Structures are given as structure tokens and as C-alpha cells.
Amino acid sequence: MSNNQIRVVTIDGPSGSGKGTLSQMLARHLGYHLLDSGALYRLVALASVKRHVDFAREEFVVPIAQNLNVEFSVEGNSMQILLDGEDVTNAIRQEAIGMGASQVAAHPGVRAALLERQRAFARLPGLIADGRDMGTAVFPESVTKIFLTASAEARAERRFNQLKAKGEIVEMENLVADIRERDERDSKRAVSPLVPAADATIIDSTDMSIEEVFASMLALIKQNS
Ligand code: DC
């Protein structure tokens, strides 16, 4: 592969599989850019709430996605996300906004509106693209495609610990139910459902540590470069 070619690594998988953490670790390690595509869908959900728009009303949600006024700024090791100039870095991580994101993401018009915005993240030297349809729809030409998964229980436990660390108290049972509901909607939607690309390498992280998953992903990336 020549040096002036942008290397895109796609990491898709269900919520709580560890994609976010691993994508950040890989981007930092390789000096690549990072696309957190879930954040874009979360921003659409949050902007809809702020404008009192029902997630189900595609005709109102699409213009919000088309006109999303968002800025990502990296400060040291952390990323700040501004929506209409307001810092929403933490607000978009709430469970309710994640559920909303999954609902607005099912609208074909919303996905179309966000497509070019996502592709624009691909810049030299490379990009780690984290999402549900990175390898299948947004970057189908990518040479390294990873599908990261884990059991619903393991993912709920990880999410529980993440939320607890942020002071958000949720019931474990509700979390497993929410994860199943979100998996079901993300996998069954008509447009760009959550499925591994035919040429993706599947990694099941249920019984693996973050470090083990990181090492196996890095090995895959190196193999392909
Ligand atoms: O990765 P996340 O939990 O931040 O994503 C929130 C929701 O956004 C997820 O339930 C489905 C949707 N999403 C999507 O449909 N396609 C993507 N590429 C990323 C996220």
C-alpha cells in the first residue's frame, strides 16, 4: 500500500462490545483520526429532543440531521463535542439518548444525511471508523474490517460499570433488556442493519481483556498494511 493512501480501519459491532474504547486506543497508538459515528446519531437524537421533535417523525428528524451544527475538538486525550456551540460531550452519552439514537438511525433519510459527513473523516494518514455500518455502507472499500461482539450479559455489565462511574444509576435487568431491544432494532432495520461485512474478521470479546482485543486488532491491521 502506498504512503499517500488513506488507511481506513472499520470497527463495527453492537453497543457495549468495547468498540469505543478500542477505537480510541487504536487511533492514539497509530496516530490515526477517529470517527465515532454513533456520536453523530446521538447528536441527531439530542437535537431532536431540544427541538421537541418525536424520534419517529422522519420528516422532521431528517432536516435536523442535514443541518447538524456540530464541532469536534480534541483536547489532549479527550474529545469535546459541541452542538450549536454548546458542550454536549456528556449529554449525548445518556442511556435515553442512546435509545433515541437507535430510533433516529432507523430512518433512511437520516442515514443518507450523515453519509458524506462521515466519509469526510477519512484523512491521512488513516482513520479508525467506529459504528454499525462502517464496513458495509460507509467505507465498503476499507481493507481492514473488524466486527467486535460480546454476549448481551457481558455488554450490559460493561455498560453498567461505565454508567456507574459517571454517577448514572440504572438497574442491571433494565440494561440487559435495553441492550437486547437496541440490538434487535439495529440488526433488523431495513437500511444498513448491524451485520458483519462479508470480508470482516469477527472478534468475540466476551472472555477477552481489553489488552487482548487490542493486540489482536493491531495484529490484523499490521497484517493488512
Ligand atoms: O455506538 P453508539 O451506542 O454510540 O450508537 C448509538 C446508536 O446509533 C446505535 O444504537 C445505533 C446507531 N448507530 C447506527 O445506526 N450506525 C452507526 N454507524 C453508529 C450508530
- Closest CA relative to residue 131, chosen from 212, 33, 2, 13: 13
- d(CA 139, ligand 1 centre) in Å: 16
Give residue 162's pLDDT: 83
Residues 160-181 have pLDDT tens digits of: 988 888 888 889 999 999 899 9
Distance in Å, CA 3 to ligand 1 centroid: 31
Residue labelled with grid coordinates 454499525: 132
Question: Residue 82's domain is classified under what CATH number?
Answer: 3.40.50.300
Buried b (16+ CB within 10 A) or exposed e, 59-70: eebbebbeebee
For residue 27 the three cell numbers come to 487511533
- Please tell me the residue having the least CA distance from ligand 1 atom 9: 102
Q: For 48-62, write each residue's pLDDT tens digit.
A: 999 999 999 999 999
Q: Say if CB 12 and CB 134 are below 8 A apart.
A: yes
The pLDDT, as a whole number, for residue 73 is 84
Task: Answer whether residue 179 is part of any domain.
Answer: yes
Residues facing residue 146 across a β-bridge: 11, 201
Closest protein CA for atom 12 of ligand 1: 102
Q: How far is the CA of 12 from the centre of ligand 1 (A)?
A: 10
Which domain range does residue 125 map to? 7-223
Give the per-residue pLDDT at 1: 54
Does any domain span residue 1?
A: no
What pLDDT sits at residue 186?
86
Three-state secondary-structure class, residue 169: coil
How many structural domains compose the chain?
A: 1
With beta carbons less than 8 A apart as the criterion, state whether 147 and 201 touch.
Answer: yes
- How many CB atoms sit inside 10 A of residue 35's CB? 28
* Residues of the chain below pLDDT 70: 1-3
